[in-house]
A and B are shown apart, each in its own frame.
Chain A
Amino acid sequence: MSILEFARGPAFQVALVVFVFGVCWRLAGVFLMVRRFDRSKPRRHALVAGGLRAIVMRSLPPHELEKKIVFQHVSGYAWHLAFFVSLLFFAPHLPFFKQFLGFGWPTLPNTVALLSGAVALAILLALLWRRATRPVMRQISTLDDYLSVIVVILPLATGFMTYARVLPFGVRYENMLGVHLLSICLLLVWFPFGKLMHLFLAFPARFQAGALLKRKGVEA
């Protein structure tokens, strides 16, 4: 079995099982915990609307606060956008999605998708540098923070190398593609164990904060 066959076959299947089971386990572990319900008379009602509003508005911090966090704020959203554009709209990725999901969608020109990936990679490296050098970030960072960045950098880096046929140590193209797929497997396996879970947890956390603040009459 070649590296590519291994990556496409058993490695991906195992990674997917770990990903799905791990995500479900962690979400269940959080949301099935005991929850205390606030029994006070709400100052304002429409708590669900408050929660939904927070999901949107937490992407836009109050302007008095935002001016102090311009780089963090902009880079955070730019990274997510750039990453998902390169993941979902890069033409060479579509056969995989079609095979896996049974349907596809239009793609962007390769140049645009690759540029998007490059932006994502550059932002990640900048954020990693920032985390390693700024006192606040160093203070609160854990191994998870560094591992998660590395685990996301790997598919981007190996993807570029594969597409550009940058093949170190005389590795064959097929094997490089296999390494790229293995890096995605690693991402899937790590996902439920680290901070990448915020993809699933951020919206519920925002929602409950929005509903809580709405009850008190404060816009989240």
Chain B
Amino acid sequence: MSATTAQFDWLRTTLSALGRRVGLSTNTDQERLDKARAVMLGELDASHAAYLETCIHCGMCADACHFYLGTNEAKYTPIWKVEPLKKVYQRELGPLRLLQRAVVPDITLAELEAWQPLVFDACTECGRCDLMCPMGIQISPMIGIMRRALAAADLLPAELAGAADEQKQLGSVLGAGKAELLALVTDLERAAIPVPVDLPAAEIVLLTSALDVKAYPDSLRATARILNKLKLSWTLLSHSVELLGTGESLKELHVRRIIDETVRRGAKTLLLPECGHAYPALRFDSAHLIGEALPFTVYSIAEFVGREIQDGRLKVKPEAGGGAVTYHDPCKLGRHGGVFEEPRAAIRALGLELREMESHGRTNYCCGGGGGQFMIGRAAPLRQRAFEIKMREVDDTGAPKVLTACNSCRLNYQNGAAEANWHTSVESLVEHVAAHLAD
């Protein structure tokens, strides 16, 4: 479970190759601009209008942002990152648009190009600024609109564009496709850990992620061991190992397919791996895509395991020697998903001393690499500045170990630790639980 350079080498090589996958845009500048504007106008609604109209430009959101706090550069002020969106709103949709057109200049492609590093490199959509704003403005969802608008204008960073292209053309993500997943399953079954794949009917459908397959196979191993221990009716879905949030139509396609596959099996539960960004996408956002509430319940594996422990169905034995740990709340599970208590219940059940960071739970700092940021090579120095805040908070707890429930966070922690020669161990909560199942 310790950090290995193999994971980073794989990631760097893969991302470098992804960056070369995508060529130049074939659209004209005007077409790109129009597409970006169309995304903005299509997604803005009354809730965003209330937010954009209410901003008093107090700048408090800057003091919630790890990228601003790590650099003191004003351009990283969260609300500034949605400035082009605000302009489009003011000129095209706002109640004062007839007047605003006289004073607010229209967006340009050069402006969108300038905003690319602000919304992709310098924002992880962690949502911490959403908590700070005295007006209640939810900035991170608007950053999401900005990202999709830039994607429509062919302005995705090369690595993200390459990953989206890989998924579209090859059906794999970061080199992890069905064949790689099935090879991992074969390895697990050789180790006497049965993994039922694509069964026609099951009560629980499990997804896995590209990071599980390529970097953290122990995560799937741990999940399988826990589900088998609970003697549950479950199956692993083989076709979809990842959801990319960069291309909305692609994401929608995958979400619909996952929902269909889950419903077809009569499953009551869709279980997500230790993957932050899949959680809000399927737990909350997917209902909007299909126009109704999902006919099954979505859990992240850490949430599921914590609930099973809380309800007494899953028994664990205390870890030998106990020891102190701190828990990193993945932003997409915590602030974007409300999963706070269940992982902590699991930690307590393991007999570990939980030392909370000063910023934990809903005010937790992002690891610095969420929202696909960890895939962007040029953003590495900025990422490290944000990670330094995290390191300080972890060090202040005095805990020698960080547990978390998201493999993107884990990878980013391990990457940042290697860069900073930081020796705190970062490990998977679910793997800890699986390693201490009671007989």
Residues of A at the B interface (CB closer than 8 Å) are 25-26, 28-36, 38-41, 43-44, 54, 58-59, 61-62, 64-65, 68-69, 72-73, 76, 131, 134-143, 145, 193, 195, 197-198, 201-202, 204-210, 212-213, 215-220
Contact check, B45 vs A35: say whether CB atoms are below 8 A apart.
yes
Chain B residues whose CB sits within 8 angstroms of the CB of A61 once the complex forms: 60, 131-132, 134
Q: Residues of B at under 8 Å CB distance from A?
A: 45-47, 49-51, 53-60, 62-64, 68-69, 74-75, 77, 79-80, 93-96, 99, 103, 128, 130-138, 280, 283-288, 291-294, 297, 334-340, 358-359, 362-363
> Using Cβ atoms and an 8 Å threshold, which residues of chain B touch A36?
45, 47, 288
Q: Assess the B58–A76 pair: CB atoms within 8 A.
A: yes
18 A-B pairs whose Cβ atoms sit less than 8 Å apart in the complex: A26-B53, A31-B46, A35-B46, A35-B47, A36-B45, A40-B283, A41-B287, A44-B338, A54-B136, A65-B131, A68-B69, A69-B63, A142-B57, A206-B136, A217-B337, A217-B338, A218-B338, A220-B131
With A35-B47, A197-B53, A198-B56 as given contacts, are A58 and B134 in contact (CB-CB < 8 Å)?
Answer: yes
Given A35-B46, A39-B291, A39-B293, A202-B284 contact (CB < 8 Å): no
**What's the dominant secondary structure at chain A's contact region?**
helix
A148 nearest in chain B by CB position: B56
B74 partner residues in chain A, CB cutoff 8 A? 135-136, 138-140
Additional 7 contacts, C-beta under 8 A, given A36-B45, A201-B53, A217-B337: A33-B46, A34-B46, A138-B74, A139-B77, A145-B56, A197-B54, A202-B136
| A residues near B95, Cβ cutoff 8 Å | 25-26, 28-30
Among residues of A, the one whose C-beta sits closest to the C-beta of B103 is A143
Q: Which residues of A contact B96 (CB under 8 A)?
A: 26, 29, 193
In the assembly, what is the distance between CA of A217 and CA of B362, in Å? 10
Let me know if A34 and B45 touch, CB within 8 A.
yes
Give the chain B neighbours of A201 by CB distance below 8 A.
50, 53-54, 135
Q: Kindly state the separation between the CA atoms of A197 and B53 in the bound complex, as whole angstroms.
A: 8
Q: Which residues of B contact A35 (CB under 8 A)?
A: 45-47
Closest A-chain residue to B69, C-beta based?
Answer: A68
Q: Is the CB of B50 within 8 A of A219?
A: no
In the assembled complex, the Cα of A213 lies from the Cα of B137 at a distance in Å of 12
Q: Are B57 and A140 in contact (CB under 8 A)?
A: yes
Interface centre among B56, B137, B286, B359 (most CB of A within 10 A): B56
Q: Is the CB of B53 within 8 A of A202?
A: no
Of all chain A residues, which has the CB nearest B48?
A33
A169 to B284, CA, bound (A): 65
Q: Which of chain A's residues has its CB closest to B130's CB?
A: A209
Given contacts A206-B136, A218-B362, contact A72 B58 (CB under 8 A): yes
6 closest residue pairs by CB, A with B: A29-B95, A217-B338, A209-B136, A206-B136, A40-B287, A135-B74
Q: Check if B363 sits within 8 Å of A139, measured CB to CB.
A: no
Of all chain A residues, the one with the shortest Cβ separation from B95 is A29
Given contacts A62-B131, A193-B99, contact A39 B46 (CB under 8 A): no
Min distance, Cβ A133 to any Cβ of chain B, angstroms: 12
B363's partner among A65, A131, A193, A206 (CB-CB below 8 A) is A65
Interface centre among A25, A54, A202, A210 (most CB of B within 10 A): A202
Contact of B284 with A38 in the complex, beta carbons under 8 Å = yes
Chain A residues contacting B283 (CB-CB under 8 Å) are 40
Enumerate chain A residues within 8 angstroms of B291, measured Cβ to Cβ: 39
Which residues in B have their C-beta under 8 angstroms from that of A197?
53-54
Contact A140 B79 (CB under 8 A): yes
Distance between Cα atoms of A202 and B51 in the complex (Å):
9
Interfacial chain A residues near B292, Cβ < 8 Å:
39
The answer to whether A31 and B59 touch across the interface, beta carbons within 8 angstroms, is no
Whether A73 touches B60, Cβ cut-off 8 Å, given contacts A30-B95, A193-B96, A210-B136, is: yes
Q: How far is the CA of A35 from the CA of B43 in the complex (A)?
A: 10
Cα-based distance from A73 to B80 in the complex (angstroms): 20
CA distance A208 to B49 in the complex (A): 12
A62 to B, closest residue via Cβ: B363
Most chain B Cβ neighbours within 10 Å, of A33, A73, A212: A33
- Of chain B, the residue at the smallest CB distance from A204 is B50
Contact status A59-B46, CB under 8 Å? no
Q: Contact at B135–A205, with CB atoms within 8 Å?
A: yes
Closest residue on chain A to residue B60 by CB atoms: A69
- Option from A39, A72, A198, A215 in Cβ contact (under 8 Å) with B59: A72
In the bound complex, how far is the Cα of B432 from the Cα of A179, in angstroms? 73
B131 pairs with A202, CB closer than 8 A: no
Complex Cα–Cα for A71 and B205 (A): 51
